[in-house]
Structure 1
Amino acid sequence: MRNLLLSTDSYKQSHFLQYPPEARAISAYGESRPNSFSDKVVFFGLQPFLIDYLGAPISAEDIEEAAAICAAHGVPFNREGWEAVLADHGGYLPLEISALPEGTVAPTGVPLFQVVNTDDRMPWLTTFIETALLRSVWYPTTVATLSWKCAKVIGAGLEKSSDDPAGQLPFKLHDFGARGVSSGESAALGGMAHLVNFAGTDTLEGIMAARRYYGADMPGFSIPAAEHSTMTAWGRDREEAAYANMLDKFEGEGALVAVVSDSYDLDNAVENIWGGSLKRAVLARKGTLVVRPDSGDPVETPARTLAKLWEIFGGTTNAKGYRVLNDRVRVIQGDGMNIESIGRLVDRVVADGFSVDNIAFGMGGGLLQLVNRDTLRFAMKANAMRDDQGEWHDVSKKPATDPAKASKAGRQAVVIEDGRMVAKRLDAIDPAHDLLKPVWRNGDVLVRHTFEEVRARAKA
């Protein structure tokens, strides 16, 4: 599945026969076009593609496999071109890719990266890699942007109701999405993208990706937590014993343990077990019990649980006048959470007079899977062609039936103008001011971002 010659749409195999005969170089750019989801994007995820895909040279075996597949599949195959890549470039694609620094929060409509071939014999190569390159970027960028938007919503609630919003925010949205994605690679890329904004995750592939591709040490954390199987295996008659076992097994100074509490009757569990027979044990612990409602209305149920825990365990009122539960208990809501319901739950908690300190949020498939290329309207389009005389010519489209799909003409640059990032023609600006910097050229990764650098940019 890693044969780069086959990591494209079938029809692109014929494009080497379609460009004008005078074409020597094709430039193409990628962007998130204006869309209804977000007017800004957190650019992220190009580096893994450079390391794992472009960083592995093609082989003679790759060429033979692709030739056989294309012949059987019914499309032409550019054997001469690929053999030149192997013979003259050691199997590395003769391309230059320039990009914004990863973690940059960029307006939609601004190029995030730009590609051009560096071997004049291969103008077809720039757009040949569109499929693999675009999907390597749109998915982690979209997840990072969704997570970033959630951080803005939760952060606003914390600013209003918490004495320590900056300290609280990193652990307020937890990633439970590993089982809901299409593959382990999706879990790695999406889980890593979430960690750009938060430090709570159960997606181990995301942690490993951040370590492998960005040199992170330990970018995400979790706590012991129950699931329904570990609670219901005790039987309904021993529900209290199951909960008591959680308190006993995960004891320790500052220890947190999350216990799903709706296997049978959430209200009974909160009022009569956690707040009744096990109340003394909860208060005697050195750590914190995190009660997890997992069914019912995603706003009403956790709000009711929070109010009941306050009634039972009490707490304090912070400097902003909002109630903070006894530090032995907290709530996490993971069921039915998306950016809209998180916003409603934050508003409800604050309206009820509680600090957002009291609650954490979890997202699964809604974070890592319920996105697609059209969420942020990602596209990669050719924008210029250099001919055999060395002259650049504009390339663009402007469909009369859909003006919103018009593409940019001419090689692009990104500059700061009046305090904001804007797209400009490269030939109209001082290249020194261009924020698109080369990150890959002819087999070499020119820039290696660290995970902390990416996080810092996303927070700027």
Structure 2
Amino acid sequence: MDGGCVNNVILLADSYKVSHYQQYPPGTTLLYSYFESRGGKFPYSCFFGLQYVLKRWLVGPVVTRQAIQEAKEIYSGVYMNDKDFNEDGWNYILEHHGGRLPLRIKAVPEGTILPTRNVLFTVENTDPAVPWLTNFFETVLVQVWYPMSVATNSRIYKQVLHHYLSLTHDNLLTLDYSLHDCGYRGVSSVETAAIGGAANMINFKASDTVAGTCLLRKYYHEKTVGAHSGPFSEHSTVTSWGRHREADAHKHMLDTFKGRTFGCVIDSYDVWNCCEEIIGDQLKELVKENGKQGGCFVVRPDSGDPCTVVLKCLEILGRQFGTETNSKGYKMLPSYLGVCQGDGVNYNSIGKILDTVERHGWSAASVSFGSGGSLLQRLDRDTQKCAYKCSLAVVDGDEVEVYKEPITDKGKTSKKGRLTLQCEDGVYTTVEHGKGDPEKDLLVPVFENGELLKDYTFEEIRQRAQITPNEIDILNFLAEDK
């Protein structure tokens, strides 16, 4: 998951930061910065990923003589001179701190659901000789935006599914498995898949992005797996049988995975014929027999208008196999049948599909979803308007509140002074100017002088992120997002 020379912690910064140590006021001994979501697409953030960044890059003696020399060579080439690289500063860290970074980081516990415009973590130097270090590592620390945004995006999906399951079904037992992560191939790198896949697993336990489990096992104490999958056909495994043998392809799945839950893609040719004639007639008894042995046959349409296709699949299968009615009066396919929509899926389209399903008397429990690019890739740092800003400096022994207040964009106004995160009566507030109560501060020390102070398990993060009764009105949110 690494690229070339970028195993060197000194190369984890935007190049322009190399000269910043020369730009702060003379006599500066401390810089204190913070990270927040300044708003963005979603009204809250699910905080996740800082522990990965710390363990992966910053914990331990990360500054070495070799790293300094390599960085000097590269930055001297980038700057086209050897004067701007802070060789003395890095050597100081090596000689006085054994290569460990003299920084202190406090953060909200991972998995916390926090309204936007609140501090998520703070960073400050612990050695007055290296105040520039605080903002040098902005680049890599801000990359927490990605796992945090995926975890948040994924949780919005889950709220939509939670709403419709609560409305149309007897229980929420299928909720954690109602969205399948299909995003491995749709992201920019294996590392992205690992980080994003792990973030989604906070909310859902169905995934094909096994790289997410690998990350959780290494960095978050996951002892087994973060999510599960099973046998699903793809178009190549169906069409390789030939058009005239499509029924044989699906029968082969029934024979091979007897008594198990598995899925078959059904739109290789004529999705309606496949539902009605092949599955609902030719293979009907085999499908039912698979159910008697504890299995479930899941059909996967993969083209067309999702609202139309999902509903018509339900109606055809319902006619062929019969339906059950749950305690809330909604129709359901037999427990050995299901429909999984994996094309064109995002949290808005799920809402539209399930609204259509509900209006036609069907329970959301008969439908599941798969999502790829929209879940893991169609995000950027501005999705939640993530920013890292300095809010306090000590210059010649005096504290200076540091902030920006651009006349052209008040939304980019930054916070001032030392910050604490407090919660009163369920309302989170970031207190500025150092006026917060340290006893009420929800920011937890997680890193100091090269040592990890807090090591969260994935299970506690997942529990912290659970949906609670007092959540946002998801239908209003979807309406506003259109």
TM range (shorter): over 0.9
Shift of 1:426: 6.1
Contact 2:416–2:433, Cα closer than 8 Å, also in 1: no
TM-score of the superposed pair, with normalisation by structure 1: 0.97
Structure 1 segments, 4+ long, off by >2 Å, are none
**Which residue number in structure 2 is paired with residue 90 of structure 1?**
98
Amino acid at match of 1:34: G
Amino acid at match of 1:238: R
Of 431, 434, 440, which aligns to 1:427?
434
1:2 aligns with 2:7: yes
Contact 1:271–1:308, Cα closer than 8 Å, also in 2: yes
Shift of 1:58: 2.0
State the alpha-carbon separation in 2 of the partners of residues 89 and 291 from structure 1.
59
Q: How many residues align?
A: 454
Amino acid at match of 1:179: R
**Which residue number in structure 1 is paired with residue 21 of structure 2?**
16
State the alpha-carbon separation in 1 of the partners of residues 352 and 248 from structure 2.
35
**Which residue number in structure 2 is paired with residue 144 of structure 1?**
151
Shift of 1:85: 1.2
**Which residue number in structure 2 is paired with residue 210 of structure 1?**
216
Q: After superposition, what is the alpha-carbon deviation per residue over 1:263-294, rounded to whole angstroms, capped at 9, x for unaligned?
A: 11111111110011111111111211000000
1:115 aligns with 2:123: yes
- List alignment gaps of at least 5 residues for structure 1: none
State the alpha-carbon separation in 2 of the partners of residues 32 and 263 from structure 1.
43
**Which residue number in structure 1 is paired with residue 463 of structure 2?**
456
1:243 aligns with 2:247: no
Contact 2:107–2:444, Cα closer than 8 Å, also in 1: yes
- Residue 428 of structure 1: SS of its match in structure 2? coil
Contact 1:413–1:426, Cα closer than 8 Å, also in 2: no
1:345 aligns with 2:353: yes
Matching of residues 13-412 of structure 1 within 5 Å = 13-35=18-40, 37-56=41-60, 57-74=62-79, 76-135=84-143, 137-165=144-172, 167-217=173-223, 218-252=225-259, 255-285=260-290, 286=293, 287-389=295-397, 391-412=398-419
Contact 2:331–2:361, Cα closer than 8 Å, also in 1: yes
Q: After superposition, what is the alpha-carbon deviation per residue over 1:391-422, rounded to whole angstroms, capped at 9, x for unaligned?
A: 32100000011111000010111001342111
State the alpha-carbon separation in 2 of the partners of residues 2 and 183 from structure 1.
16
Shift of 1:153: 0.6
State the alpha-carbon separation in 1 of the partners of residues 64 and 193 from structure 2.
29
TM-score of the superposed pair, with normalisation by structure 2: 0.93
Amino acid at match of 1:168: T
Q: After superposition, what is the alpha-carbon deviation per residue over 1:361-394, rounded to whole angstroms, capped at 9, x for unaligned?
A: 11001110000000000000000001232x3210
- Residue 382 of structure 2: SS of its match in structure 1? coil
Q: After superposition, what is the alpha-carbon deviation per residue over 1:118-140, rounded to whole angstroms, capped at 9, x for unaligned?
A: 111111110110011101x1000
- Residue 155 of structure 1: SS of its match in structure 2? helix
Quote the sequence identity (%): 44
State the alpha-carbon separation in 2 of the partners of residues 243 and 38 from structure 1.
41
Shift of 1:4: 1.4
Contact 1:23–1:387, Cα closer than 8 Å, also in 2: yes
Amino acid at match of 1:193: A
- Residue 383 of structure 1: SS of its match in structure 2? strand
State the alpha-carbon separation in 2 of the partners of residues 4 and 302 from structure 1.
49
Amino acid at match of 2:11: L
1:443 aligns with 2:450: yes
Which is worse superposed, 66-75 or 178-187?
66-75
Shift of 1:100: 0.2
- Residue 344 of structure 2: SS of its match in structure 1? coil
